Amino acid sequence: MVDDIAVPAIDGPWDRVLELTGSLLAGGRDAEVEAELPHLRLAAAEMLRDTVGRAPWPPRYEDPFPDVRGALPEIGPEELTADVVVGGILHHGAILVRGMLGPDDVDRVGREMDLTFESRLAADEEPAGAEEEPPWWVPFRPVQKTVGQRGKPHLIRVVDAPRVLADALDTYRRLGLIDLIGDYFGEPPVFTANKSVLRYLEVPPAVFTDFHQDGRFMGTDVRALNVWVTLTDCGTDAPSLDLIPRREQDIAPTGNGTSGFDWTIAATEADEMAGDTPVVHLDLRAGDGLLFDHMLVHRSGVRAGMTGMRKAIEWWFFAPSHVPWKYQPLRA
């Protein structure tokens, strides 16, 4: 468990995070406190900068699904353990958690996400100084410079959505996900301001999209785990995900053939790569979660005739000892 992992004996920022988060969840919302929490999480992550990583890496996990071939292992939320999840990722590329978020969590977090996008739109449209309810969108602007996901109408960084951040992280902790990730890393997990986002996705103008590996921009010398959750049904009428159901050992060549970018893999090349583990198109229900790392070959799974919109949360966690140099960590 995370509590058993060696951490600094005195961690004022983290103690303050726990205190304020507990107060928020027990007593309702406080805009000033919510805006302060990401900065405290940033300071708490800084205290983990010199953490020594787990060795050897990657740790050895047996395949919990030896009979699964050419498909993605599926589990329920009651099966969320490091042995099952990490074993599934290392041997099959990803693991699908059906109903990871229950209907109440989906409805609540989904509504909070909608209010965050509405709050950002209102801030763009209303004159400076206009009175309003405490906003759901509060831009996170630390002193340290960082790359970011700004100015994109279809997504908002979770650090700019402090109410969703507090609620969703508490939900993941309640599910045991944060402890599970800490068990895997051997370190208290951090997440990035840059790659953890709330995202709306409609069918793009070009129906067929390229594949990619996140390790193409993160690098391979990272220790990462992505928690990707859909808050809407997707796969039939709205885009879901396509993936090769195995974990690659290397970053595949990119920018070749008909690929649209120098960091992507053309669909024809992904099919050739897949070989006897053909590309899987996921049909998902609201609350389903997908867990994978930076080596998975995947893409947005769009199909001709889709008209719906997908609403999802993508949350990248890292071991503090192996965070991509250009990404800004906050303690989870």
Question: In this predicted model, what pLDDT tens digit does every residue of 120-132 receive, in sequence order?
Answer: 988 877 655 454 5
CA separation for the pair 139, 157 (Å, rounded): 9
The strand ranges marked E within 234-288 are 240-243, 280-281
Output the pLDDT for position 6. 42
CA separation for the pair 279, 298 (Å, rounded): 9
Instruction: Look at the alpha carbons of 94, 82, 172, 324 in this order and tell me if their dihedral is positive or negative.
Output: negative
Provide the CATH number for the domain formed by 61-331 in this structure: 2.60.120.620
Output the pLDDT for position 205. 53
Strands 94-97 and 74-75: parallel
Output the pLDDT for position 257. 74
Whether the bond between 56 and the residue before it is cis, its omega within 30 degrees of 0, is yes
Q: Could you tell me which residues are beta bridge partners of residue 316?
A: 226
Output the pLDDT for position 206. 57
Residues in the chain: 332
Output the pLDDT for position 4. 46
Query: Residue 95: enclosing H or E segment and its boundaries?
Result: strand 94-97
Please provide residue 52's backbone torsions phi and psi, each rounded to the nearest 5 degrees.
-85, 130
The angle, 0 to 180 degrees and rounded to 10, between the axes of the packed helices 177-185 and 162-174 is: 80
Output the pLDDT for position 128. 53
Higher local confidence (pLDDT), 20 or 87: 87
Instruction: Please state which of the ranges 12-26, 63-77, 129-143, 242-256 shows the lowest mean pLDDT.
Output: 129-143
**Which residue is it, tokens 């990619």?**
212
For residues 21-33, average pLDDT: 81
212 DSSP 8-state letter: B
> Can you give the residue ranges of every domain in the chain?
61-331
Given a cut of 50, whether residue 2 has pLDDT beyond it is no
Residues of the chain above pLDDT 70, percent: 90
The angle, 0 to 180 degrees and rounded to 10, between the axes of the packed helices 103-125 and 162-174 is: 170
